[in-house]
């Protein structure tokens, strides 16, 4: 028996690295077997129900307006062509399980299927959830619109631009397709995001998260961090960004919260903005990094609530999604003044780099716009 290739479309090596831990090509039946929990929950539920038969789609169609029925057993889902796994996200699993339990053939809309001429193959582009819910109920022929496509590029384009699903397609799903396609206008942006996540030791999807590889969820916000205060030289274009401030911030968080397998992107945005604001006011190199680590540890220790990083946004009051950077940086500047209130007191060695004390006008300025404050010679003279 020949082994089916994992990737059937031309994709970038970065895409292969990001998806190497799981299958990207499978049938509906194979996918349900790969996620046995959802199928077992459904089967246990069905056993407890009274006799419940579901009519076929043919039985409810008007004889003059028969909609074509498609056998979902003959189709695949190929993520490298622009499909997504409807069982990969826990929220989607719950939705599909609910759909399967209340399956009503009069409410199911047609799915969209792409036909690959060169392979004589069908792939489910839109409606994977509906197909899984039908399959669990033993309904294999369902209404479908089958379109002929010429290439994986066309299938991906249909996936990311279709009006019906535009709001529900996750940022991670779009990111994967842009990462896969070297001709996409967003390919360089996705490649930089991928490379920075790898170099800093974070992951972008919950299926990969661990204490050594914590999750930062929110691709769009992460890309804003990289672009706005990541620390690259002004004018650096996507395709050449390395985001040193962001990498440093992740290093700090991993050092201070070693047992976390996830970091809120909001806190990461605030800390990265603070690193940008303060980089000329603290020592350079390892000494400066250690000072920032000490700072975050002191913030963490300053109250019971702040021991949990998930409370930082609320307790420090930078809970506006459009201002995680500005409000976050200014909140951390205030906290810096608090935890290092007595840091400059007492006798110090001749080469001591004093701890900055943020003036009110500086904190106010940072709350409106993120920029690096000029060096203050009095701190190290």
DSSP 276-288: HHHTTTS--HHHH
pLDDT at 2: 55
Taking the C-alpha atoms of residue 136 and residue 86, their distance in angstroms, rounded to an integer, is 14
H-run or E-run covering 217 = none
Quick check: 66 pLDDT over 90? no
pLDDT at 323: 92
Taking the C-alpha atoms of residue 344 and residue 14, their distance in angstroms, rounded to an integer, is 48
pTM: 0.86
Lowest mean pLDDT segment, chosen from 274-283, 329-338, 346-355: 346-355
**Residue-averaged pLDDT of the chain:** 92
Residues forming beta bridges with residue 121, ordered by sequence position: 116
- Residue with the larger pLDDT of the pair 10 and 2: 10
Question: Stretch 68-91: mean pLDDT, rounded?
Answer: 91
- Residue with the larger pLDDT of the pair 218 and 322: 218
pLDDT at 334: 97
Taking the C-alpha atoms of residue 17 and residue 197, their distance in angstroms, rounded to an integer, is 12
pLDDT at 238: 97
pLDDT category of residue 168 using cuts at 50, 70 and 90 = low
* 3-class DSSP assignment, residue 196: helix
pLDDT at 1: 45
The torsion angles phi and psi of 113, rounded to 5 degrees, stand at -120, 135
Taking Cα atoms as reference points, which of 203, 219, 302 lies closest to residue 260? 203
H-run or E-run covering 30 = helix 28-34
Any idea which residue has 């009519």 for tokens? 55
* DSSP per-residue string spanning 251-309: HHHHHH-TT-SB--HHHHHHHHHHHHHHTTTS--HHHHHHHHHHHHHHHHHT-SGGGSG
Lowest mean pLDDT segment, chosen from 41-45, 360-364, 377-381: 377-381
Taking the C-alpha atoms of residue 132 and residue 100, their distance in angstroms, rounded to an integer, is 8
pLDDT at 112: 92
Question: Stretch 182-204: mean pLDDT, rounded?
Answer: 96
pLDDT at 178: 93
Quick check: 87 pLDDT over 70? yes
Lowest mean pLDDT segment, chosen from 22-31, 89-98, 363-372: 89-98
Cross-sheet strand order for the sheet of 69-71: 25-26, 75-78, 121-126, 111-116, 141-149, 69-71
Q: Determine contact, residues 66/109, Cβ cutoff 8 Å.
A: no
pLDDT at 321: 76
Is 347 exposed, middle or buried, given 0-12, 13-18 or 19+ CB atoms closer than 10 A? exposed
Taking the C-alpha atoms of residue 182 and residue 175, their distance in angstroms, rounded to an integer, is 12
Residues forming beta bridges with residue 144, ordered by sequence position: 111
pLDDT category of residue 162 using cuts at 50, 70 and 90 = low
pLDDT category of residue 363 using cuts at 50, 70 and 90 = very high
Taking the C-alpha atoms of residue 266 and residue 311, their distance in angstroms, rounded to an integer, is 11
């Amino acid at each position: 028996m020949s082994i089916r290739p994992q990737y059937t479309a031309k994709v970038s090596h970065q895409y292969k690295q990001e998806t190497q831990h799981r299958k990207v090509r499978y049938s509906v039946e194979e996918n349900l077997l790969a996620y046995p929990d959802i199928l077992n929950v459904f089967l246990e539920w069905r056993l407890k129900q009274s006799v419940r038969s579901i009519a076929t789609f043919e039985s409810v169609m008007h004889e003059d307006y028969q909609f074509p029925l498609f056998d979902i057993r003959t189709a695949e889902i190929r993520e490298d062509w622009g499909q997504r796994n409807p069982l990969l996200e826990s929220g989607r699993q719950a939705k599909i399980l609910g759909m399967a339990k209340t399956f009503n053939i009069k409410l199911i809309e047609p799915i969209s299927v792409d036909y690959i001429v060169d392979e004589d193959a069908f792939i489910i582009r839109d409606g994977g959830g509906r197909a899984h819910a039908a399959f669990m109920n033993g309904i294999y022929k369902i209404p479908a619109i089958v379109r002929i496509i010429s290439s994986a590029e066309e299938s991906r384009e249909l996936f990311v631009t279709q009006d019906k699903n535009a709001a529900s397609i996750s940022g991670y799903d779009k990111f994967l397709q842009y990462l896969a396609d070297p001709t996409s206008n967003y390919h360089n942006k996705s490649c930089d995001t991928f490379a920075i996540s790898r170099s800093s030791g974070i992951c972008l999807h919950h299926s990969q998260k661990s204490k050594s590889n914590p999750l930062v969820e929110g691709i769009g916000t992460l890309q804003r961090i990289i672009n706005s205060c990541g620390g690259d030289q002004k004018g650096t274009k996507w395709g050449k960004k390395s985001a040193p401030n962001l990498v440093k911030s992740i290093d700090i968080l991993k050092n201070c919260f070693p047992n976390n397998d996830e970091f809120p992107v909001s806190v990461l945005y605030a800390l990265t903005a603070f690193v940008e604001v303060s980089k000329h006011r603290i020592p350079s190199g390892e000494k400066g990094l250690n000072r920032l680590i000490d700072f975050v540890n002191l913030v963490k220790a300053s109250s019971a609530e702040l021991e949990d990083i998930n409370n930082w946004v609320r307790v420090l009051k930078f809970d506006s999604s459009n201002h995680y950077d500005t409000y976050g940086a200014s909140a951390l500047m205030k906290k810096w003044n608090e935890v290092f209130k007595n840091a400059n007191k007492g006798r110090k060695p001749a080469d001591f780099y004093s701890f900055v004390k943020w003036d009110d006008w500086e904190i106010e300025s940072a709350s409106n716009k993120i920029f690096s404050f000029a060096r203050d010679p009095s701190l190290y003279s």
